[in-house]
Structures are given as structure tokens and as C-alpha cells.
Amino acid sequence: MKQFAFMMLMLLISSSLAGCTSEDTEESQSFPVFSSVADNDEIYDNTRMEGSAYIVVFSAEWCNSPCFTTMHAIWSAQSELPVLVMSTDPAENATGVTLSEWHESADAHDDDGEETGVTLTTYAFMKGHEAGISLGIDKPGSVVFVNADGEVTYLHEGRMDDTADILERWADASA
């Protein structure tokens, strides 16, 4: 009987330690190294973004939905967030659309006739497909939330337009 009690005690102790190994800890992923000139002629890179949370929308110059829908959903959830819009198209595969034209097209997405919608003033449009490739992103409209330490806190492939989800992911990144 003592042996049975001892075995049960050992089983309880060992089961309470399950999951305490380093193999079970989730490793954080850093946002890839990037440097690009945006449509406002400013250079954006990891050093510039260091110390503040930000959102990256991977888009394409030709993508209006889900890309523009996602951009405007983020703006509607909380305006003026720091958003980098990176093209999933390589620079050498130029589409003939300038970064400024691309930004203007995104701004116009919610226009209704003569009524002008929002202007995505805090969004910087740039090339950046290398960062997307490093993260395994293969769908325009994908969104990455990055914290002040440069770590990816959430990656969503495809359209993202749920306000509560956007705000929750932003709160996690900016905490």
C-alpha cells in the first residue's frame, strides 16, 4: 500500500510539472529587417519604428479589396494609428502606379460620388515584399501587428475588418 501511495504521489508531482520545459514556450518572432522610401519621401526602417508599436498591411498596388477594405477598417476602428502599407509586388515588377497614386486610390476607396471619405493621413505606402516573404505572407490584405520591441504580436492573412478584433490586436501590440 505504501508503494502505491508513493507511486501516486510521484505521478501527481510529475504531472504538475508537465509543460514546464523550455520546449513548450512560444518563441517570439521579430519583424524582418526592412528599409524603404514611402510615398511621403521619408525612409521607414526598423530603427525608425523602434520603441513604438505599429501595424503593417501587406497590399499590392492593384488590390482594392480586401486591401483597401482592411486599411479603412483599421482607420475606422481607431484613426491615425501608425500603419505601414507594404507592397507585396517586387520593386522590379513595377505596375506603373506610383506610391502616391496608390495612396490616393486607397484614400478614395470610401468616397461616394462628390462626398470625400477619410484620408489615410498616417499611413505610409512603400515597397516591402521582402518582409512579407520572410513572414510567409502570400495574400495581399494581410495584417501584422508589431510591438515596441519589434516583435510580431499577431499576423492575419487576408481581409481584416472586425473592429473589435482590430482594437484587441492593437491593444496587445501597444501594451
**Nearest 10 degrees: Cα torsion 90, 93, 96, 100:** 10
* 8 Å CB contact between 155 and 132: no
Which CATH number goes with the domain that contains 64? 3.40.30.10
113-145: pLDDT as tens digits: 888 999 999 999 998 889 999 999 877 889 999
* Domain assignment of residue 7, yes or no: no
* Domain assignment of residue 26, yes or no: no
- Rounded CA-CA distance 129/29 in Å is 18
- Rounded CA-CA distance 86/8 in Å is 57
* Domain assignment of residue 89, yes or no: yes
Tell me how many domains the chain contains.
1
48-76: pLDDT as tens digits: 999 999 999 999 888 888 899 999 999 99
- Rounded CA-CA distance 167/175 in Å is 12
* Domain assignment of residue 164, yes or no: yes
pLDDT at res. 96: 80
149: domain range? Answer: 34-174
81-103: pLDDT as tens digits: 999 999 988 766 566 888 999 99
**For the whole model, what pTM was predicted?**
0.82
β 54-59/83-87 pair status: parallel
- Evaluate if residue 18 carries a pLDDT over 70: no
* 8 Å CB contact between 130 and 34: yes
* Burial class (CB within 10 angstroms; exposed 0-12, middle 13-18, buried 19+) of 89: buried
* 8 Å CB contact between 109 and 150: no
- Evaluate if residue 10 carries a pLDDT over 90: no
Average pLDDT, the chain: 85
pLDDT at res. 164: 98
* Domain assignment of residue 18, yes or no: no
- Rounded CA-CA distance 161/116 in Å is 21
* Domain assignment of residue 134, yes or no: yes
pLDDT at res. 78: 97
